[in-house]
Structure 1
Amino acid sequence: MQNAAILTVDDDPSVSRSVARDLRRRYGDRYRVIRAESGSTALDALREIKLRGEQVAVLLADYRMPGMNGIEFLEAAMDVFPLARRVLLTAYADTDAAINAINIVDLDHYLLKPWNPPEEKLYPVLDALLEAWLTTPAVTMPETKVVGHRWSARSFAVRDFLARNLVPYRWLRADEAEGARLLAAAGLGEADVPVVITTDGKALARPTETDLAAHVGMATTPASDLYDLAVIGGGPAGLGAAVYGASEGLRTLLVEQRATGGQAGQSSRIENYLGFPDGVSGAQLTDRARRQAQKFNAEMLTTREVVGLERQDPVTLLRFSDDTAVAAHTVVLATGVSYRLLDAPGLADLTGRGVFYGSAAIEAPNCSGEEIYIVGGANSAGQGAVYFSRFARKVHILIRGDDLTRSMSRYLIDQIEGIANIEVHPNTEVVGGEGRDHLERLTLCDRRSGRVATVPTSWLFVFIGAEPRTDWLGDVVARDGNGYVLTGSDLLADGLRPAGWAPSRDPYHLESSMPGVFAAGDVRAGSVKRVASAVGEGAMAVSLVHRYLEGR
């Protein structure tokens, strides 16, 4: 139990050293022994231990200390480590106070000073208390903790960022006992939430995603100024390009603005991906792909936004939002698409507070026993409905069309039809939402009859199509009318190459109007919106990267 401590506090330095010496002699190989010479410094030490995610097994406090006596200290310490065993060190004249402390601070034992010989008067007591503490269920290991408000968009954003980046954490509400203890230990209050306590004990109040990434071990700064291949976007296409590029010896950089996996990474279950007959969650697939890319030494940056491309032969510059840049001989655009916002009155203000875009799987346990609504008729909506049906009492799927056959795979339709607590509402759309601190009601409209109804709910998950993330490209790369990147033969108008095209050849199949810049996955015009095709295009883009590099 090297992460657990025994803390002793006594204002007499000689006594403090003596008890610490006896404790280290017996328990120093299993516990950290910490000594303090005042109640206030001991409480500071406890708060630091708490923030580091470590444990305190036993507290030993002298009764007669100026400023804060032993009983007052143990009472305050209970708020920080309520499960720690408590011992009061007393003189014979203070035994009445020690007995009274049993009721005040639920004292486990009191020891008369001096306790010599420790083999008879100290160690048997501590052995029993440590054995009892070890059998207490709530002994925990260091972990990232998030303290926030239940219906807070900022708190949800922090939790969602950590979950999508596969960082394990424990969620604590600020208005509950353990969350309040952590805030007090960090010297913060409810106004400072969300607060993230990292595994090394650092408290981050209202952190940005860049703050979070830097403190949970994700890289945010490139290690080099020049790469063979820069991949922009960490969805299936980007991860596929990073794996194949790095495995074939290219110095590869993958830049992701928020979290690897993209929309696929949020899928609760993908059952039609080759090689996974029992299905695989988007998080599992993302984790495997990310570890595979890192195994081949691909460098991965998180929370970095690329805001522009600039050709400076023989390289392309990737300009970041903080005015820094890196250069790459080739680039793969794999920025994917984002869910469209549901344009209905009242919903914008409730985003993250009952209205969620994508599966938001971290909220599933909170939906237990409740009725939830899902908007959308494609595979992502179907996968979400199947997943949430395990928790919610009833799942309502709202679609604008007559049925699901137009945009959902048959295997998902069959699953939905076989789940009793899923109901599909055709020709139905959301026309409004209301609530004070969170979503409380939805207004639905039947598109055929025009009839409007209001339903009570705190949960709306939206999957209504997508749009490419390409506005940042401006005019440097040709796009179609919907913003998708044009590549290959789509760039040839009446057999003519794009304006400003310098090479003497036609663009390669996945190459954009900027030579050496390729597009893969959902961001590319004409792509098949499936995980397998995105991974395949990422791999294909790397083979074309090699052709480009060899032909220069």
Structure 2
Amino acid sequence: MPEHQRPAILLVSAEHATFLLDEFGRYQRDYELVMALSAEEAEYEAQAVVDSGAQVALIVTDSRLPDAEVGEAFRRWRTVVPSARRMVVPPWERFLDDAPRLRPGLGRGEYDAVLLMPRGVRDEEFHTAVVELLSDWGSTVAGPEVETVSIVSPAPDALTLGIRDFLDRMGMPNRVHTPDSDVGREILARWEGEIDSSAAQGPAPLPRFPLVNAIQRGLFAPESVREVATMFYGTPGTFTEQGGTEGTADVAIVGAGPAGLAAAVYAASEGLSTVVIEAEAIGGQAGTSSMIRNYLGFPRGISGMRLAQRARNQAIRFGTRFFTGWDVQRLSTGPTFTVHTEGGDVQARAVVVSTGVAYRKLGVPNVEALTGLGVFYGSAMTAAREMEGRDVVVVGGGNSSGQAAIHLARFARSVTILVRRPDVSESMSRYLINEIEANATIAIQESSEVADGGGDGRLEWIDVRDVATGEVTRRDAHGLFLLLGAEPHCDWLPDDVARDEHGFVLTGRDVPKDRWRDALPPASLETTVPGVFAAGDVRSGSMKRVAAASGEGASVVPLVHAHLEQTGR
């Protein structure tokens, strides 16, 4: 979008046009307000915005239009502006009559919110919903107006996309610039000046891409995502307690998904010195979800990134230290525990294992070779923007696959969900299936799997095998998103920590009786090693849901307290 063009808010009403235009006047500085009196006129105005090179951020419509039912109107508008957020605002005098008719469309995802049209000034509850929708659009669709991190790269290679995905999941506004752009040339000139001054003894090396310029962090050329994470969060070996005292943490939490974040918030808020070590971005797999609609207390849904960002800020407020980009290599037991990483060790009196699960590998060599080049494990929020106008495939039948497909449909020409099962309803929530069925861009292909894939330097095609007949067909695919079930991520744990036949950590009464101590089972979330606890998806028998993981993370803190009191540490 050209810098001088503001994104648009499209207001649609035959009866309340003047009122809505006045009500949304507070957004006029940052958004272009566009008015339409009918569904047909709104479609025309949306197309005009797109043709001008701008974007439609939000569509707000009356609950009754003169020429179309609201659900039908949104289906028409979606073909023009699939990424716009959508709101229906019935007026007071029709709200009770129209609300029952509108709720089914809300459940199918035809629109994001149904709210009573404001009746007076300063209806901040209404405008909170507006701002949330605009914020969601801005974080997933629009390029940032103010960049925290600028990246210079000639092409969207695997490392550049990996860095962007990390920054997006961490909530850091960023943008990629080509070397011949104004920003790119300015950063290159700075880089060459720094290299020239440091390479006075010989010729200056050629620039290495991507280059990353971060506010208050300087300019550098990372060779891995970990280098970027370290630039912002440091290394675990530098851990000090709040106030600057070196020593042993009360609790070390390994994994910053919902369980780890909840444990961090409750532990730190109760005065325990708390450190969290995360191998990737804070939020875990849940942090990659474009929209979680069934999480308690968020009627309009919340993105995994926003949920993780809020929880992280809560934990930091109470003194938690975070280190991202560091895999834990092993755990040593003793009078205290030692969490070993390549970035140094952390000493702790108790350990909470909340590493969650990792997606299983596809195991097709030609496809694996294109990882990061059109092939992605997980929903890869950043890569979704690169799929505009392309045909993409999502593999997996769980809720994460459904959420990824719905998000990708805002950009891609077509999205196909491949599922090995004969019926996706066995593994996906009904609300997601309803939303997928209502979206003409998404198709579900059951009893199918990826047999092969390839392309000239990037993914261009895949072979799909019918698991019932064995028949293989080839199809175009410029994006393949693999969400293939779950495997526990806890190989670093010592053998003393018991696991089930699938590798998930056993806790409480699930521990075999021959591993109980003094004929008593461990505490409910405690492992076979006293002082080592497990919470969330990594635990055997867990619910594998965001809310359940958060609950376990909160519940583990009293057990940590009891252990510390019992051992006198």
TM-score, normalising length from structure 2? Answer: 0.68
Change (3 A) 1:457 1:175: farther
Letter in 1 for 2:533: F
Counterpart residue type for residue 473 of structure 2: A
Hey, what does 1:122 align to over in structure 2?
none
Residue 504 of structure 1 and its aligned partner are, at CA, apart by 7.8
Compute the displacement of 1:214 (Å): 3.7
Could you list the per-position Cα deviations for residues 381-403 of structure 1 after superposition, in whole angstroms to 9, with x for gaps in the alignment? 00011111111111111111112
Match of 2:340 among 309, 319, 322: 319
- Answer yes or no: is the 8 Å Cα contact 2:286–2:304 preserved in 1: yes
Q: Is the contact between residue 146 and residue 169 of structure 1 (CA under 8 Å) also seen in structure 2?
A: yes
Q: Deviations over 1:128-183 (max 9, x none)?
A: xxxxxxxxxx9975641112243411222221222222222111234666535533
| Counterpart check, 1:548 vs 2:563 | yes
Aligned to 2:162: 157
Residue 534 of structure 1 aligns with an amino acid whose one-letter code is A
- The change in CA–CA distance for 1:296 and 1:417 in structure 2 (over 3 A counts) is same
Q: Which position in structure 2 is the counterpart of 1:60?
A: none
SS in 1 for 2:333: strand
Aligned pairs for 1:377-416 (under 5 A) are: 377-416=397-436
Aligned pairs (5 A) from 1:402-441: 402-441=422-461
CA–CA separation in structure 2 for the residues paired with 1:175 and 1:442:
34
2:212 aligned partner: 196
Structure 1 counterpart of 2:289 = 267
Match of 2:177, SS state, is strand
Q: Is the 8 A contact 2:290 2:407 kept in 1?
A: yes
Please list, as runs of the form range in 1=range in 2, the aligned pairs for 1:55-70 lying within 5 A after superposition: none
Which residue type is aligned with residue 551 of structure 2? G
Specify the code of the residue in structure 2 equivalent to 1:410.
Answer: R
Residues 369/515 of structure 1: CA separation in 2 closer, same or farther (3 Å cut)? same
2: CA distance, partners of 1:533 / 1:272: 12
Question: Paired residue for 1:508, among 482, 500, 523?
Answer: 523
User: 2:235 aligned with 1:215, yes or no?
Assistant: no
Q: Is the 2:256–2:278 Cα contact (8 Å) retained in structure 1?
A: yes
In the alignment, structure 1 residue 254 sits paired with structure 2 residue 271: no
Answer yes or no: is the 8 Å Cα contact 1:174–1:190 preserved in 2. no
The worse-fitting range, judged by mean Cα deviation, of 294-303 and 420-429 is 294-303
Which residue of the partner structure matches residue 188 of structure 2?
Answer: 183
Tell me which amino acid in the other structure corresponds to 2:210.
Answer: P
Letter in 1 for 2:159: R
2:65 aligns to what? Answer: none
Question: 1:328 offset after TM fit, Å?
Answer: 1.4
Distance 2:163 2:206 in 1: 16
Alpha-carbon distance in structure 2 between the residues aligned to 1:218 and 1:291: 17
**How many angstroms apart in 1 are the aligned matches of 2:232 and 2:506?**
37
Match of 1:365 in 2: 385
Q: Residue 376 of structure 2 aligns to a residue in which SS?
A: strand
CA shift, 1:464, in A, is: 0.8
- The aligned amino acid for 1:155 is T
Instruction: State the SS of the aligned residue for 2:297.
Output: coil
Pairing partner for 1:295 from 311, 317, 320 = 317
Q: Distance in 1 between matches of 2:161 and 2:314?
A: 29
Alignment of 1:213-252 (within 5 A): 213-216=229-232, 220=236, 221-223=238-240, 224-252=246-274
Residue 523 in structure 1 maps to residue 544 in structure 2: no
CA RMSD of aligned residues (A): 2.3
CA–CA distance in structure 1, aligned partners of residues 216 and 248 of structure 2 = 33
Residue 269 of structure 1, CA deviation:
0.6
In the other structure, the counterpart of 1:497 is 515
Change (3 A) 1:160 1:139: closer
The answer to whether residue 391 in structure 2 is matched with residue 376 in structure 1 is no
Tell whether the 8 Å contact from 1:219 to 1:300 is kept in structure 2 after alignment: no
The alpha-carbon distance between structure 1 residues 289 and 450, as it changes in their structure 2 partners (threshold 3 A), is: same
Q: Pick closer, same or farther for the CA change 1:327–1:139 going to 2, 3 Å.
A: closer
| Residues 281-292 of structure 1 mapped to structure 2, 5 A cutoff | 281-292=303-314
Q: Relative to structure 2, which stretch is displaced further, 408-417 or 253-262?
A: 253-262
CA distance in 2, matches of 1:274, 1:139: 29
Q: Which residue identity does 2:563 align to in structure 1?
A: Y
Match of 1:82 in 2: none
Aligned mates of 1:361, 1:398 — CA distance in 2: 19
Q: Report the alpha carbon displacement of residue 252 of structure 1 after superposing the two structures with TM.
A: 1.1
The secondary structure found in structure 1 opposite 2:547 is: helix
Post-superposition offset of 1:191: 5.9
Q: Which moved more, 1:153-162 or 1:515-524?
A: 153-162
Aligned-partner Cα distance in 1 for 2:167–2:522: 40
What's the secondary structure of 1:288's corresponding residue?
A: helix
CA distance in structure 2 between the aligned counterparts of 1:294 and 1:165, rounded to whole angstroms: 14
Aligned to 1:345: 365
Between the aligned partners of 1:141 and 1:371, the Cα distance in structure 2 is 31
CA shift in 2, pair 1:319/1:171, >3 Å:
same
Q: Which amino acid aligns with 1:312?
A: G
Q: Which 5+ residue runs of structure 1 have no aligned equivalent?
A: 1-137
Paired letter, 2:339: L
Residue in structure 1 matched with residue 504 of structure 2 by the alignment: 484
2:289 touches 2:303 (CA, 8 Å); kept in 1?
yes
- Equivalent residue letter for 2:515: R
Give the AA of the match of 1:456. Answer: D
Please give the alpha-carbon distance, in whole angstroms, between the structure 2 residues aligned to 1:227 and 1:148: 40
Report the Cα distance in structure 2 between the residues aligned to 1:339 and 1:283, rounded to whole angstroms. Answer: 19
Alpha-carbon distance in structure 2 between the residues aligned to 1:391 and 1:367: 6
1:378–1:210 Cα change, 3 Å: closer
Match of 1:449 in 2: 469
Task: Please state how far the C-alpha of 1:445 moved relative to its aligned partner.
Answer: 1.4
| Equivalent residues of 1:195, 1:207 under 8 A apart | no
* Structure 2 gaps, min length 5: 1-142, 196-204, 241-245
CA contact (8 A) 1:198 1:216 kept: no
For residues 471-522 of structure 1, the C-alpha deviation after alignment (integer angstroms, 9 at most, x for no partner) is: 11141311112111111112132xx334xx5x78531011011101000000
Q: Indicate the residue corresponding to 2:13 in structure 1.
A: none
Report which stretch shifted further, 513-522 or 364-373. 364-373
Letter in 2 for 1:536: G
Q: Percent identity?
A: 43
* Alpha-carbon distance change, 201 to 311 in structure 1, aligned in 2, over 3 angstroms: closer
Q: Does residue 533 of the first structure (1) align with residue 533 of the second (2)? A: no
Question: AA paired with 1:238?
Answer: G
Aligned-pair CA distance for 1:309: 1.6
User: How far does the alpha carbon of each residue in 1:322-343 deviate from its partner, in whole angstroms, 9 at most, with x for none?
Assistant: 4x32221111100111111112
Q: Report what 2:4 is aligned to.
A: none
Q: Which has the larger Rg? A: 1
User: Which sits farther off after the overlay, 235-244 or 481-490?
Assistant: 481-490
Task: Name the SS of the counterpart of 1:277 in structure 2.
Answer: coil
TM-score (norm 1): 0.70
Tell me whether 1:279 sits opposite 2:301 in the alignment: yes
